[in-house]
Protein backbone atom coordinates (compact mmCIF):
# COMPACT_ATOMS: atom_id res chain seq x y z
CA UNK A 1 0.00 0.00 0.00
CA UNK A 2 1.27 3.43 -0.88
CA UNK A 3 1.28 5.70 2.10
CA UNK A 4 1.07 9.24 3.27
CA UNK A 5 1.67 10.80 6.66
CA UNK A 6 -0.21 12.58 9.37
CA UNK A 7 0.48 15.03 12.18
CA UNK A 8 3.55 17.03 11.25
CA UNK A 9 3.46 19.12 14.39
CA UNK A 10 4.32 16.19 16.58
CA UNK A 11 6.60 14.65 13.98
CA UNK A 12 4.89 11.29 14.10
CA UNK A 13 4.28 9.41 10.90
CA UNK A 14 1.59 6.79 10.41
CA UNK A 15 1.24 5.09 7.03
CA UNK A 16 -2.13 6.00 5.55
CA UNK A 17 -3.67 6.12 2.07
CA UNK A 18 -2.06 8.95 0.15
CA UNK A 19 -5.32 10.71 -0.78
CA UNK A 20 -5.95 13.02 2.17
CA UNK A 21 -6.25 16.65 3.07
CA UNK A 22 -3.26 18.23 4.79
CA UNK A 23 -3.71 19.75 8.23
CA UNK A 24 -3.09 23.40 8.87
CA UNK A 25 -2.10 25.27 12.02
CA UNK A 26 -4.57 24.90 14.87
CA UNK A 27 -7.04 27.59 15.71
CA UNK A 28 -7.02 28.91 19.24
CA UNK A 29 -10.48 28.13 20.58
CA UNK A 30 -12.04 29.22 23.86
CA UNK A 31 -13.65 26.81 26.27
CA UNK A 32 -17.44 26.49 26.29
CA UNK A 33 -19.64 24.58 28.68
CA UNK A 34 -21.35 22.85 25.76
CA UNK A 35 -17.96 21.77 24.40
CA UNK A 36 -16.90 20.51 27.80
CA UNK A 37 -19.99 18.39 28.20
CA UNK A 38 -19.70 17.01 24.69
CA UNK A 39 -16.04 16.11 25.15
CA UNK A 40 -16.61 14.61 28.56
CA UNK A 41 -18.95 12.05 27.06
CA UNK A 42 -16.17 10.73 24.82
CA UNK A 43 -13.82 9.57 27.53
CA UNK A 44 -13.49 6.41 29.48
CA UNK A 45 -13.57 7.59 33.07
CA UNK A 46 -13.38 6.13 36.49
CA UNK A 47 -10.79 4.96 38.98
CA UNK A 48 -10.71 2.29 41.62
CA UNK A 49 -9.79 2.51 45.25
CA UNK A 50 -7.20 0.34 46.94
CA UNK A 51 -10.02 -1.55 48.62
CA UNK A 52 -11.54 -2.70 45.36
CA UNK A 53 -8.42 -3.26 43.30
CA UNK A 54 -5.73 -1.42 41.32
CA UNK A 55 -6.22 2.25 40.55
CA UNK A 56 -7.19 2.90 36.93
CA UNK A 57 -5.05 5.63 35.36
CA UNK A 58 -6.49 7.23 32.25
CA UNK A 59 -3.85 7.83 29.59
CA UNK A 60 -4.76 10.04 26.60
CA UNK A 61 -2.73 9.62 23.44
CA UNK A 62 -3.01 9.63 19.66
CA UNK A 63 -4.01 6.42 17.93
CA UNK A 64 -1.09 4.02 17.43
CA UNK A 65 -2.00 1.29 14.91
CA UNK A 66 1.29 -0.50 15.55
CA UNK A 67 0.10 -1.57 19.01
CA UNK A 68 3.31 -0.40 20.70
CA UNK A 69 1.59 2.12 22.96
CA UNK A 70 -1.09 -0.34 24.07
CA UNK A 71 1.63 -2.88 24.74
CA UNK A 72 3.49 -0.34 26.88
CA UNK A 73 0.32 0.39 28.85
CA UNK A 74 -0.22 -3.33 29.41
CA UNK A 75 3.40 -3.90 30.42
CA UNK A 76 3.41 -1.06 32.92
CA UNK A 77 0.15 -2.18 34.51
CA UNK A 78 1.55 -5.69 34.92
CA UNK A 79 4.82 -4.36 36.35
CA UNK A 80 3.08 -2.15 38.93
CA UNK A 81 2.41 -5.16 41.18
CA UNK A 82 -1.26 -4.39 41.51
CA UNK A 83 -0.95 -0.67 42.21
CA UNK A 84 -2.49 0.51 38.94
CA UNK A 85 -3.72 -0.36 35.49
CA UNK A 86 -3.49 2.01 32.52
CA UNK A 87 -6.53 2.71 30.38
CA UNK A 88 -5.30 3.90 26.96
CA UNK A 89 -7.84 6.43 25.65
CA UNK A 90 -7.40 7.08 21.93
CA UNK A 91 -7.66 10.74 20.94
CA UNK A 92 -9.06 11.99 17.60
CA UNK A 93 -6.89 11.71 14.49
CA UNK A 94 -6.49 15.46 14.09
CA UNK A 95 -3.89 17.01 16.38
CA UNK A 96 -6.07 20.11 16.61
CA UNK A 97 -8.94 18.03 17.94
CA UNK A 98 -6.63 16.16 20.32
CA UNK A 99 -5.54 19.41 21.90
CA UNK A 100 -9.06 20.81 21.98
CA UNK A 101 -10.57 17.76 23.67
CA UNK A 102 -7.97 17.72 26.45
CA UNK A 103 -8.01 21.51 26.91
CA UNK A 104 -11.77 21.68 27.28
CA UNK A 105 -11.90 18.90 29.83
CA UNK A 106 -8.95 20.19 31.85
CA UNK A 107 -10.41 23.69 31.92
CA UNK A 108 -13.63 22.15 33.33
CA UNK A 109 -11.68 20.43 36.11
CA UNK A 110 -12.29 16.89 34.82
CA UNK A 111 -10.57 14.60 37.33
CA UNK A 112 -10.61 11.54 35.07
CA UNK A 113 -7.51 12.68 33.13
CA UNK A 114 -4.21 11.38 34.51
CA UNK A 115 -1.49 11.06 31.85
CA UNK A 116 -1.57 13.26 28.75
CA UNK A 117 0.32 12.71 25.50
CA UNK A 118 1.16 16.28 24.51
CA UNK A 119 2.49 17.48 21.20
CA UNK A 120 5.82 19.22 21.80
CA UNK A 121 4.25 22.62 21.02
CA UNK A 122 1.50 22.41 23.67
CA UNK A 123 3.52 22.35 26.90
CA UNK A 124 3.70 26.13 27.33
CA UNK A 125 -0.06 26.54 26.88
CA UNK A 126 -0.99 23.69 29.23
CA UNK A 127 1.56 24.69 31.87
CA UNK A 128 0.64 28.38 31.76
CA UNK A 129 -3.02 27.47 32.19
CA UNK A 130 -2.20 25.33 35.24
CA UNK A 131 -3.50 22.17 33.58
CA UNK A 132 -0.38 20.06 34.15
CA UNK A 133 1.88 19.45 37.14
CA UNK A 134 5.59 20.31 37.19
CA UNK A 135 8.05 17.46 37.61
CA UNK A 136 10.06 17.82 40.81
CA UNK A 137 12.24 15.81 43.16
CA UNK A 138 12.95 12.17 42.38
CA UNK A 139 10.48 12.08 39.50
CA UNK A 140 12.28 14.97 37.81
CA UNK A 141 15.66 13.32 38.25
CA UNK A 142 14.39 10.08 36.75
CA UNK A 143 12.85 11.99 33.84
CA UNK A 144 16.08 13.83 33.07
CA UNK A 145 18.45 10.85 33.43
CA UNK A 146 19.71 9.76 30.02
CA UNK A 147 17.27 11.97 28.11
CA UNK A 148 18.58 13.75 25.02
CA UNK A 149 18.89 17.51 25.48
CA UNK A 150 16.85 18.39 22.38
CA UNK A 151 13.67 16.58 23.46
CA UNK A 152 14.23 17.66 27.06
CA UNK A 153 14.13 21.27 25.91
CA UNK A 154 10.62 20.77 24.53
CA UNK A 155 9.39 19.82 28.01
CA UNK A 156 10.66 22.92 29.83
CA UNK A 157 8.60 26.07 30.35
CA UNK A 158 9.84 29.04 32.39
CA UNK A 159 12.67 26.94 33.78
CA UNK A 160 10.43 24.14 35.03
CA UNK A 161 10.23 20.61 33.70
CA UNK A 162 6.52 20.19 32.93
CA UNK A 163 6.55 16.88 31.04
CA UNK A 164 8.76 13.91 30.20
CA UNK A 165 9.85 13.34 26.56
CA UNK A 166 8.44 10.08 25.20
CA UNK A 167 9.47 10.19 21.52
CA UNK A 168 10.93 12.60 18.98
CA UNK A 169 11.56 13.00 15.26
CA UNK A 170 13.76 14.85 12.81
CA UNK A 171 14.09 15.32 9.06
CA UNK A 172 17.06 14.01 7.11
CA UNK A 173 18.33 14.72 3.60
CA UNK A 174 17.38 11.81 1.33
CA UNK A 175 19.04 11.59 -2.07
CA UNK A 176 19.64 9.32 -5.04
CA UNK A 177 23.21 8.06 -5.12
CA UNK A 178 22.92 7.19 -8.82
CA UNK A 179 22.47 10.92 -9.54
CA UNK A 180 24.58 12.46 -6.78
CA UNK A 181 27.79 10.74 -5.74
CA UNK A 182 28.47 13.08 -2.81
CA UNK A 183 25.46 14.52 -0.95
CA UNK A 184 25.44 18.33 -0.66
CA UNK A 185 26.36 19.80 2.70
CA UNK A 186 24.65 23.17 2.30
CA UNK A 187 21.45 24.51 0.79
CA UNK A 188 23.46 26.43 -1.80
CA UNK A 189 25.22 23.23 -2.89
CA UNK A 190 21.96 21.28 -3.09
CA UNK A 191 20.24 23.90 -5.23
CA UNK A 192 23.30 24.08 -7.47
CA UNK A 193 23.36 20.28 -7.82
CA UNK A 194 19.68 20.28 -8.76
CA UNK A 195 20.22 22.92 -11.41
CA UNK A 196 23.13 20.98 -12.93
CA UNK A 197 21.02 17.82 -13.07
CA UNK A 198 18.22 19.79 -14.75
CA UNK A 199 20.64 20.96 -17.45
CA UNK A 200 21.59 17.34 -18.07
CA UNK A 201 17.94 16.34 -18.42
CA UNK A 202 18.06 14.11 -15.36
CA UNK A 203 15.69 13.86 -12.35
CA UNK A 204 16.52 16.94 -10.33
CA UNK A 205 13.63 18.14 -8.14
CA UNK A 206 14.03 18.92 -4.44
CA UNK A 207 11.10 17.69 -2.38
CA UNK A 208 10.16 19.76 0.67
CA UNK A 209 7.02 21.06 2.36
CA UNK A 210 5.78 24.38 0.96
CA UNK A 211 2.04 24.36 1.66
CA UNK A 212 0.36 26.82 4.01
CA UNK A 213 0.49 24.62 7.13
CA UNK A 214 2.71 23.53 10.01
CA UNK A 215 5.29 21.77 7.82
CA UNK A 216 6.36 25.04 6.23
CA UNK A 217 6.63 26.61 9.69
CA UNK A 218 9.02 23.77 10.57
CA UNK A 219 11.10 24.54 7.46
CA UNK A 220 11.30 28.26 8.29
CA UNK A 221 12.13 27.59 11.94
CA UNK A 222 14.88 25.12 11.02
CA UNK A 223 16.54 27.58 8.66
CA UNK A 224 16.23 30.51 11.10
CA UNK A 225 17.73 28.61 14.02
CA UNK A 226 20.41 27.06 11.77
CA UNK A 227 21.35 30.61 10.73
CA UNK A 228 21.92 31.47 14.39
CA UNK A 229 18.59 33.11 15.15
CA UNK A 230 15.23 32.59 16.77
CA UNK A 231 11.65 33.41 15.88
CA UNK A 232 10.87 34.71 19.40
CA UNK A 233 13.05 36.45 21.96
CA UNK A 234 14.26 34.39 24.97
CA UNK A 235 11.34 35.57 27.11
CA UNK A 236 8.81 34.63 24.38
CA UNK A 237 7.31 38.12 24.64
CA UNK A 238 8.09 39.43 21.14
CA UNK A 239 9.41 38.43 17.73
CA UNK A 240 13.19 38.33 17.39
CA UNK A 241 13.78 37.25 13.76
CA UNK A 242 16.45 39.67 12.41
CA UNK A 243 19.16 38.78 9.85
CA UNK A 244 18.91 35.00 10.47
CA UNK A 245 15.22 35.07 9.51
CA UNK A 246 16.03 37.13 6.41
CA UNK A 247 18.61 34.48 5.46
CA UNK A 248 16.05 31.72 6.02
CA UNK A 249 13.49 33.47 3.84
CA UNK A 250 16.11 34.06 1.16
CA UNK A 251 16.85 30.33 0.97
CA UNK A 252 13.18 29.46 0.76
CA UNK A 253 12.72 32.00 -2.03
CA UNK A 254 15.85 30.79 -3.84
CA UNK A 255 14.65 27.19 -3.86
CA UNK A 256 11.11 28.11 -4.90
CA UNK A 257 12.38 30.05 -7.93
CA UNK A 258 15.08 27.57 -8.96
CA UNK A 259 15.02 24.65 -11.39
CA UNK A 260 14.98 22.37 -8.34
CA UNK A 261 11.51 23.47 -7.22
CA UNK A 262 8.69 21.01 -7.70
CA UNK A 263 5.83 22.76 -9.57
CA UNK A 264 3.57 21.59 -6.72
CA UNK A 265 5.74 23.17 -4.00
CA UNK A 266 3.00 25.63 -2.86
CA UNK A 267 0.74 22.71 -1.93
CA UNK A 268 3.34 20.08 -1.04
CA UNK A 269 3.25 18.22 2.29
CA UNK A 270 5.21 15.21 3.57
CA UNK A 271 3.06 12.53 1.90
CA UNK A 272 3.17 14.02 -1.62
CA UNK A 273 6.91 14.62 -1.15
CA UNK A 274 7.35 10.92 -0.45
CA UNK A 275 5.30 9.89 -3.48
CA UNK A 276 7.11 12.30 -5.79
CA UNK A 277 10.47 10.89 -4.73
CA UNK A 278 9.22 7.35 -5.27
CA UNK A 279 7.99 8.32 -8.76
CA UNK A 280 11.59 8.94 -9.83
CA UNK A 281 11.38 12.63 -10.78
CA UNK A 282 13.40 13.93 -7.84
CA UNK A 283 17.01 13.86 -6.73
CA UNK A 284 16.57 15.18 -3.16
CA UNK A 285 13.99 15.02 -0.40
CA UNK A 286 13.86 16.68 3.02
CA UNK A 287 11.59 14.47 5.06
CA UNK A 288 11.18 12.21 8.08
CA UNK A 289 12.49 8.63 8.37
CA UNK A 290 9.12 7.09 7.46
CA UNK A 291 10.13 7.52 3.80
CA UNK A 292 12.82 4.85 4.13
CA UNK A 293 10.59 1.80 4.77
CA UNK A 294 8.01 3.31 2.40
CA UNK A 295 10.53 3.41 -0.45
CA UNK A 296 11.60 -0.15 0.30
CA UNK A 297 8.02 -1.37 -0.17
CA UNK A 298 6.83 1.00 -2.90
CA UNK A 299 9.85 1.11 -5.22
CA UNK A 300 12.40 -1.65 -4.43
CA UNK A 301 14.50 -0.75 -7.48
CA UNK A 302 14.89 2.89 -6.49
CA UNK A 303 15.40 1.85 -2.86
CA UNK A 304 18.82 0.47 -3.84
CA UNK A 305 20.08 4.01 -4.53
CA UNK A 306 18.00 5.78 -1.87
CA UNK A 307 20.49 7.16 0.66
CA UNK A 308 20.51 9.54 3.60
CA UNK A 309 22.72 12.39 4.81
CA UNK A 310 22.63 15.18 7.40
CA UNK A 311 20.11 17.96 6.84
CA UNK A 312 21.81 20.69 4.73
CA UNK A 313 23.37 23.56 6.63
CA UNK A 314 22.79 27.25 6.00
CA UNK A 315 26.47 28.13 6.30
CA UNK A 316 29.46 25.88 5.45
CA UNK A 317 30.93 24.19 8.48
CA UNK A 318 27.96 25.03 10.71
CA UNK A 319 25.68 21.97 11.17
CA UNK A 320 21.97 22.52 10.74
CA UNK A 321 19.74 22.55 13.79
CA UNK A 322 16.68 20.70 12.61
CA UNK A 323 13.28 21.34 14.18
CA UNK A 324 12.24 18.28 16.18
CA UNK A 325 8.80 16.86 16.78
CA UNK A 326 7.50 14.27 19.18
CA UNK A 327 5.27 13.64 22.17
CA UNK A 328 5.86 14.44 25.84
CA UNK A 329 3.91 12.87 28.70
CA UNK A 330 2.41 15.28 31.21
CA UNK A 331 0.48 14.70 34.43
CA UNK A 332 -2.89 16.38 34.71
CA UNK A 333 -3.31 18.85 37.58
CA UNK A 334 -6.79 17.36 38.09
CA UNK A 335 -5.57 13.78 38.50
CA UNK A 336 -6.69 12.12 41.73
CA UNK A 337 -3.62 9.86 41.67
CA UNK A 338 -0.66 12.08 40.70
CA UNK A 339 2.05 10.01 42.39
CA UNK A 340 0.99 6.86 40.58
CA UNK A 341 0.56 8.84 37.36
CA UNK A 342 4.17 10.10 37.54
CA UNK A 343 5.39 6.55 38.11
CA UNK A 344 3.31 5.22 35.23
CA UNK A 345 4.48 7.95 32.83
CA UNK A 346 8.09 7.07 33.58
CA UNK A 347 7.32 3.43 32.90
CA UNK A 348 5.51 4.19 29.64
CA UNK A 349 8.62 5.93 28.31
CA UNK A 350 11.27 3.59 29.73
CA UNK A 351 13.99 2.16 27.49
CA UNK A 352 12.18 -1.06 26.64
CA UNK A 353 8.94 0.67 25.70
CA UNK A 354 10.78 3.32 23.68
CA UNK A 355 12.64 0.59 21.80
CA UNK A 356 9.38 -1.16 21.01
CA UNK A 357 7.76 2.10 19.87
CA UNK A 358 10.76 2.82 17.65
CA UNK A 359 10.89 -0.59 15.99
CA UNK A 360 7.13 -1.22 15.70
CA UNK A 361 5.73 2.30 15.54
CA UNK A 362 8.50 4.32 13.89
CA UNK A 363 8.84 6.74 16.82
CA UNK A 364 12.49 7.78 17.42
CA UNK A 365 13.54 7.48 21.08
CA UNK A 366 14.37 10.28 23.50
CA UNK A 367 16.66 8.11 25.64
CA UNK A 368 20.24 8.02 24.34
CA UNK A 369 20.80 4.40 25.43
CA UNK A 370 18.09 3.05 23.12
CA UNK A 371 20.03 4.09 20.01
CA UNK A 372 22.79 1.63 20.92
CA UNK A 373 20.44 -1.34 21.16
CA UNK A 374 21.23 -3.89 18.39
CA UNK A 375 17.50 -4.18 17.60
CA UNK A 376 17.60 -0.63 16.27
CA UNK A 377 20.00 -1.54 13.46
CA UNK A 378 17.57 -2.95 10.90
CA UNK A 379 14.80 -0.44 11.56
CA UNK A 380 17.13 2.56 11.79
CA UNK A 381 20.38 2.05 9.87
CA UNK A 382 20.63 5.86 10.07
CA UNK A 383 20.00 5.86 13.83
CA UNK A 384 23.24 7.63 14.76
CA UNK A 385 22.37 10.52 12.46
CA UNK A 386 18.91 10.76 14.03
CA UNK A 387 20.53 10.69 17.47
CA UNK A 388 22.87 13.52 16.52
CA UNK A 389 20.17 15.71 15.00
CA UNK A 390 17.60 15.09 17.73
CA UNK A 391 20.12 15.82 20.47
CA UNK A 392 21.04 19.12 18.80
CA UNK A 393 17.53 19.80 17.55
CA UNK A 394 15.77 23.13 17.34
CA UNK A 395 12.42 23.57 19.05
CA UNK A 396 9.56 25.66 17.78
CA UNK A 397 8.69 28.99 19.42
CA UNK A 398 7.76 28.45 23.06
CA UNK A 399 4.59 30.33 23.85
CA UNK A 400 1.10 29.55 25.16
CA UNK A 401 -0.10 31.17 21.94
CA UNK A 402 1.84 28.88 19.64
CA UNK A 403 -1.25 27.88 17.67
CA UNK A 404 -1.83 31.51 16.69
CA UNK A 405 1.83 32.26 15.97
CA UNK A 406 2.10 29.16 13.78
CA UNK A 407 -0.88 30.18 11.65
CA UNK A 408 0.51 33.69 11.15
CA UNK A 409 3.89 32.33 10.04
CA UNK A 410 2.42 29.79 7.63
CA UNK A 411 0.27 32.45 5.99
CA UNK A 412 3.28 34.69 5.35
CA UNK A 413 5.92 32.19 4.18
CA UNK A 414 3.70 30.20 1.83
CA UNK A 415 3.77 30.10 -1.11
CA UNK A 416 7.57 30.34 -0.85
CA UNK A 417 7.94 31.88 -4.33
CA UNK A 418 6.01 34.95 -3.11
CA UNK A 419 8.48 35.69 -0.31
CA UNK A 420 10.26 39.05 -0.44
CA UNK A 421 12.77 38.50 2.38
CA UNK A 422 13.08 41.99 3.87
CA UNK A 423 9.37 42.79 3.43
CA UNK A 424 8.21 39.38 4.63
CA UNK A 425 10.30 39.52 7.79
CA UNK A 426 8.76 42.90 8.65
CA UNK A 427 5.28 41.46 8.15
CA UNK A 428 6.21 38.46 10.29
CA UNK A 429 7.41 40.72 13.08
CA UNK A 430 4.20 42.74 13.02
CA UNK A 431 1.83 39.76 12.85
CA UNK A 432 3.68 37.72 15.48
CA UNK A 433 3.80 40.64 17.90
CA UNK A 434 0.11 41.31 17.32
CA UNK A 435 -0.65 37.65 18.01
CA UNK A 436 1.38 37.65 21.23
CA UNK A 437 -0.40 40.80 22.39
CA UNK A 438 -3.85 39.50 21.50
CA UNK A 439 -4.45 42.14 18.85
CA UNK A 440 -6.53 41.64 15.75
CA UNK A 441 -8.24 38.49 14.60
CA UNK A 442 -7.20 35.40 16.49
CA UNK A 443 -6.94 32.45 14.04
pLDDT digits (tens, 9 = 90+) for 282-325: 999 999 999 999 999 999 999 999 999 999 999 999 999 999 99
For residue 41, how many other CB atoms are within 10 A of its CB?
8
**Please, what is the average pLDDT of the chain?**
89
For residue 180, being part of any structural domain is answered with yes
Task: Compute the average pLDDT of residues 429-433.
Answer: 97
pLDDT of residue 10: 45
pLDDT of residue 3: 34
pLDDT of 25 strictly over 50: no
Angle subtended by helix axes 421-436 and 243-256, to nearest 10: 120
pLDDT digits (tens, 9 = 90+) for 172-188: 999 999 999 999 999 99
pLDDT digits (tens, 9 = 90+) for 118-176: 999 999 999 999 999 999 999 999 999 999 999 999 999 999 999 999 999 999 999 99
For residue 46, how many other CB atoms are within 10 A of its CB?
9
Give yes or no: residues 406 and 365 share one domain.
Answer: no
Host domain of residue 432: 1-26+171-323+401-443
Distance CA 349, CA 96 (A): 24
Question: In this structure, is the dihedral angle defined by the CA atoms of residues 366, 367, 371 and 374, taken in order, positive or negative?
Answer: negative
Residue 378's pLDDT band (cuts 50, 70, 90)? confident
Note if the pTM is more than 0.85: yes
Which of 348, 372, 391 is a domain's end point? 391
pLDDT digits (tens, 9 = 90+) for 390-413: 999 999 999 999 999 999 999 999
For residue 354, being part of any structural domain is answered with yes
pLDDT of residue 379: 87
Give yes or no: residues 333 and 319 share one domain.
Answer: no
Which range among 91-95, 101-105, 348-352 shows the weakest confidence by mean pLDDT? 91-95
For residue 396, being part of any structural domain is answered with no
Task: Compute the average pLDDT of residues 14-41.
Answer: 34
pLDDT of residue 440: 55
For residue 37, being part of any structural domain is answered with yes
pLDDT of residue 19: 32
Give yes or no: residues 343 and 387 share one domain.
Answer: yes
Give yes or no: residues 124 and 44 share one domain.
Answer: yes
Distance CA 327, CA 244 (A): 28
pLDDT of 1 strictly over 70: no
Q: Comparing 377 with 199, which gets the higher pLDDT?
A: 199
Q: Which residues are CB-neighbours of 442 under 8 A, at least 6 positions away?
A: 28, 404, 435
For residue 263, being part of any structural domain is answered with yes
Q: Comparing 332 with 20, which gets the higher pLDDT?
A: 332
Provide the domain count of the chain: 2
For residue 95, being part of any structural domain is answered with yes
Task: Report the phi/psi class of residue 31: left, alpha or beta, with left for phi > 0 and alpha for psi in -120 to 50.
Answer: beta
pLDDT of 432 strictly over 70: yes
Q: Comparing 26 with 235, which gets the higher pLDDT?
A: 235
Q: Which residues are CB-neighbours of 78 under 8 A, at least 6 positions away?
A: none
pLDDT of residue 215: 96
Longest dimension (CA), the chain: 76
pLDDT of residue 220: 98
Give yes or no: residues 298 and 248 share one domain.
Answer: yes
Give yes or no: residues 133 and 241 share one domain.
Answer: no
pLDDT of 108 strictly over 60: yes
pLDDT digits (tens, 9 = 90+) for 250-281: 999 999 999 999 999 999 999 999 999 999 99
Give yes or no: residues 377 and 416 share one domain.
Answer: no
CATH number for position 55: 3.40.190.10
pLDDT of residue 5: 38
Give yes or no: residues 250 and 376 share one domain.
Answer: no
Give yes or no: residues 50 and 18 share one domain.
Answer: no
Give yes or no: residues 288 and 351 share one domain.
Answer: no
pLDDT of 197 strictly over 60: yes
From start to end of 84-171, where are the E strands?
84-90, 115-119, 156-157, 160-161, 164-169
Give yes or no: residues 259 and 405 share one domain.
Answer: yes
Give yes or no: residues 205 and 312 share one domain.
Answer: yes
Amino acid sequence: MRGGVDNVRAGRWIRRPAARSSRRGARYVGVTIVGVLAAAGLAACGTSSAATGPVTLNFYMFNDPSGAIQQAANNCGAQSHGRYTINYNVLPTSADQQRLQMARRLAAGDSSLDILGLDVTWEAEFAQAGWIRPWTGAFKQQAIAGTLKGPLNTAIWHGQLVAVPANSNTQLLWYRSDLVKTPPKTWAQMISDAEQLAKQGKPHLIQIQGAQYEGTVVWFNTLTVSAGGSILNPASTAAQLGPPAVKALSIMKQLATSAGADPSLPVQTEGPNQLAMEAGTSAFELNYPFVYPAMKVDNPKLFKVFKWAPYPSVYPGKPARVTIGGIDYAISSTSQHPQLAFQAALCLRNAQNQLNAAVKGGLPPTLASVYNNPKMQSAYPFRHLILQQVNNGAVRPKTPLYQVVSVQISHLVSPPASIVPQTTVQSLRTQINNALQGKGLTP
